Structure 1
């Protein structure tokens, strides 16, 4: 019972992190192509929240993996790692509870 609840909560947190990484990447593209402007208060607020959420996951990866030709692939790697944790490690860890 408790294991199922913990699995549900951790699975949900990983899903939120994956979506935050995706939205942050899209927002960085929109900012780079001048579709949205960070001088807008709402956009700047959303950007700060997304940076705060994704920095603990993307920061260490960005220190290890350099951009390839100006393209930052760390969001893709982070999503793959998070999905691997979600599908393979999380059920094994909580299976005994």
Structure 2
């Protein structure tokens, strides 16, 4: 059984991982507006980590005209997934 300090660090680690991924998705979305950013190593890294997840939602949610709302839905699902994982891990605490 973990003590309260260890639970705290597990919780913080999970939060940092999800926050990093959320910020990566935001940066990837913003980089689509500036083509020069996509052509460097950071843009390629963001595409490699974000595009597989976003493709799942693009298959389900078609663009509305020129507007792609699938990243918004993807971020909402990511937030719900984070809350679900934290609840499962810490409901016995």
TM range (shorter): 0.7 to 0.9
- Of 5, 17, 26, which aligns to 2:9? 5
Gaps of 5+ in 2: none
The 5 A counterparts of 1:52-71 are 52-71=48-67
The answer to whether residue 88 in structure 2 is matched with residue 84 in structure 1 is: no
TM-score (norm 1): 0.76
| 1:94–1:45 Cα change, 3 Å | same
TM-score (norm 2): 0.78
Distance across 2 between alignment mates of 1:66 and 1:89? 27
Structure 1 vs Structure 2 CA RMSD: 1.9
Gaps of 5+ in 1: none
- What is the aligned residue count? 88
Residues 2-58 of structure 1 show CA distances to partners (whole Å, capped at 9, x for unaligned) of 443332222111101100000001110122xxxx365xxxx4211110011112321
